[in-house]
Amino acid sequence: PVLVQSLNILEEKKHPHTYESLEVLADLYEKRYRHALSHNNPKESEAFKEKSLGYLNKALKVMEACHLEKTSPFESIQNKIRELGKM
């Protein structure tokens, strides 16, 4: 997958915008989570939810390492984690 390849390159270079690819992957897995949930597949949906949360948490760590904690994308990712955690 192209997105994973781009993520690997960004991680290799320790690029500060690595969080953006992580957030996109998290959004993708959140959609898969919702789809599996709507099709009454709790085991698969939980796996997708955990994957999404993992990418979001990793995005926050990247942003913290780059001192981007006081930005609106940081807050947005925190909100996504809270919302996904409520589901």
pLDDT of residue 17: 86
3-state SS, residue 33: helix
Beta carbons of 26 and 52 less than 8 angstroms apart? yes
Beta carbons of 73 and 63 less than 8 angstroms apart? yes
* Residue the block writes with tokens 């589901």: 87
Q: What is the pLDDT along the chain (87 residues), one digit of tens a residue?
A: 788 888 889 989 888 889 999 999 999 999 999 999 999 999 999 999 999 999 999 999 999 998 988 889 999 999 999 999 888
Task: Using a cut of 0.85, tell me whether the model's pTM lies above it.
Answer: yes
